[in-house]
Amino acid sequence: MPTTPEASQIDAAREWRRHLHSIPELGFGEHKTSAFVAEKLRSFGLEVHQGIGQTGVVGILRKGSGSQAIALRADMDALKITEQTNLPYASTHQGQMPACGHDGHMAMLLGAAHHLSRHGQFSGTVHFIFQPNEEHGRGAKAMIADGLFERFAFAEIYGIHNMPGMPVGAFATRAGPLMASEDNFEIRFRGKGGHAARPQVANDPIVIAAHAILALQTIVSRRVSALDTAVVSVTEVLTDGTRNVLPETVILKGDTRSYRPEIQKIIEAEMRRIAAGIAQSFGAEVDVTYTQEFASTVNHDSASQHALAAARATPGIDRVDAEPEPLMGSEDFGLFLNHKPGNFAFLGNGVDGANGQPLHNPHYDFNDAALGPGIAYWSSIVHRKLPA
């Protein structure tokens, strides 16, 4: 199968990647980015649809007479980070940076569209999905609400994310949970403010909030089975007091992670019960806001076996891990997997220098050496899933 991209195609993908790196845009503001992606897809001869879920793009490539259709997805948005790489193609948009490698994800998928449009020997339809606003967990929902599944019929969907710390040429995925859900919470305790020297005539919400912070840790240790994985983190404590003033209000903000919807429900219910009980015991008032931001990324069995087989057959991928440890980080791709069978996988970005820096780091850079394996993997997925 013609899965290996030509050197000229990899060179072109490198130029696209560096251009996209220089014009990063935040979620639902990817106007230059989506216009560039759409222009390239049209130049390859694909049917192109723009404005899906605000700024999303879908390119369609059909070959042969096959009725099967699959989707390949890349994310487009950047992060609100000031880049510190000093690269010649560094961000020209102050305070915005592709610090998660979405520039590389787009370049790999564009490279695959280019390669498959010219050399693809398959029969069926490939949908190339370029999703906005992944970082805040809003883009997949917006595309689905805009009729993604009704307007573009496909049976399975596949995604890739680069992974610093994994060598170039390494690939990892598994059936079942791969990345966690993310829920956010805000707990607002209202006591009675007063002078710091006279706490007896006030009702100090800081003390109340402190009890809550400790009690919230019992959700995982005493309400979630030891066979399940969950995290509850209080990440912010905000007050309206000052050094010699007991505040009227304390706000706790935080983040929870888990792999199963059942665990999400347990965490939310226990959090509300604990907050209400502590507030009542101190004679205070409390409001709890709990929102589900990211669905967990749970890969489907058949699609995952297909992804692993495609990776093993891909030139440039020389190590395949079929049992990586699940991560507690979150990925908006998980929402697609709630609706369609599919697989999400990790591709090595390198272990040294900027390519080995953690994601969301101001010194990080996507590794251009990963473009070839990424393009070839996408091509392998298509040729195996839609044989001519």
Phi-psi region of 279 (alpha: psi -120 to 50; beta: other; left: phi over 0): alpha
User: Are the beta carbons of 183 and 268 closer than 8 angstroms?
Assistant: yes
Fold of 7-177+297-385: Aminopeptidase (3.40.630)
Strand, coil or helix: 361:
coil
Q: For residue 344, is pLDDT > 90?
A: yes
Element (DSSP H or E) covering residue 163: strand 156-163
- pLDDT confidence bin for 283, thresholds 50/70/90: very high
How remote is the C-alpha of 293 from its chain's centroid?
Answer: 11
The amino acid at residue 63 is K
Fold of 181-294: Alpha-Beta Plaits (3.30.70)
Q: What is the pLDDT of residue 86?
A: 96
Q: What is the pLDDT of residue 4?
A: 87
The amino acid at residue 347 is L
The set of residues, in sequence order, having a beta carbon less than 8 Å from that of 242 and lying 6+ positions away, is none
Q: Considering only CA atoms, which of 364, 388, 384, 374 is closest in space to residue 101? A: 364
Task: For residue 326, count other CB atoms closer than 10 A to its CB.
Answer: 16
Q: Considering only CA atoms, which of 350, 351, 349, 345 is closest in space to residue 377? A: 345
Q: What are phi and psi of 383, to 5 degrees?
A: -65, -30
pLDDT digit string, tens, across residues 14-56: 999 999 999 999 999 999 999 999 999 999 999 999 999 999 9
What is the spatial distance between Cα 105 and Cα 366, in angstroms, rounded to a whole number?
9
How many angstroms separate the Cα of 246 from the Cα of each of 48, 157, 197, 206, 252? 59, 54, 9, 8, 16
Average pLDDT over residues 346-372: 97
Q: Considering only CA atoms, which of 108, 104, 101, 128 is closest in space to residue 42? A: 128
Q: For residue 332, is pLDDT > 90?
A: yes
- pLDDT confidence bin for 3, thresholds 50/70/90: confident
**Average pLDDT in the chain:** 97
What is the spatial distance between Cα 205 and Cα 279, in angstroms, rounded to a whole number?
9
Q: What is the pLDDT of residue 2?
A: 64
pLDDT digit string, tens, across residues 221-252: 999 999 999 999 999 999 999 999 999 999 99
How many angstroms separate the Cα of 233 from the Cα of each of 219, 258, 294? 11, 12, 16
Q: For residue 181, is pLDDT > 90?
A: yes
pTM for the whole thing? 0.95
Q: What is the pLDDT of residue 274?
A: 98
Q: What is the pLDDT of residue 1?
A: 55
Task: For residue 39, count other CB atoms closer than 10 A to its CB.
Answer: 10
pLDDT digit string, tens, across residues 63-100: 999 999 999 999 999 999 999 999 999 999 999 999 99
- Domain residue spans in the chain? 7-177+297-385, 181-294
Average pLDDT over residues 182-205: 97
Q: What are phi and psi of 136, to 5 degrees?
A: -105, 10
pLDDT digit string, tens, across residues 124-146: 999 999 999 999 999 999 999 99
Handedness of CA 118, 109, 337, 51 (dihedral sign): negative
Tallying the residues shown for the chain, one arrives at: 388
Q: Considering only CA atoms, which of 144, 115, 78, 119 is closest in space to residue 364? A: 78
The DSSP symbol for 355 reads: G
Q: Considering only CA atoms, which of 211, 226, 56, 191 is closest in space to residue 134? A: 56
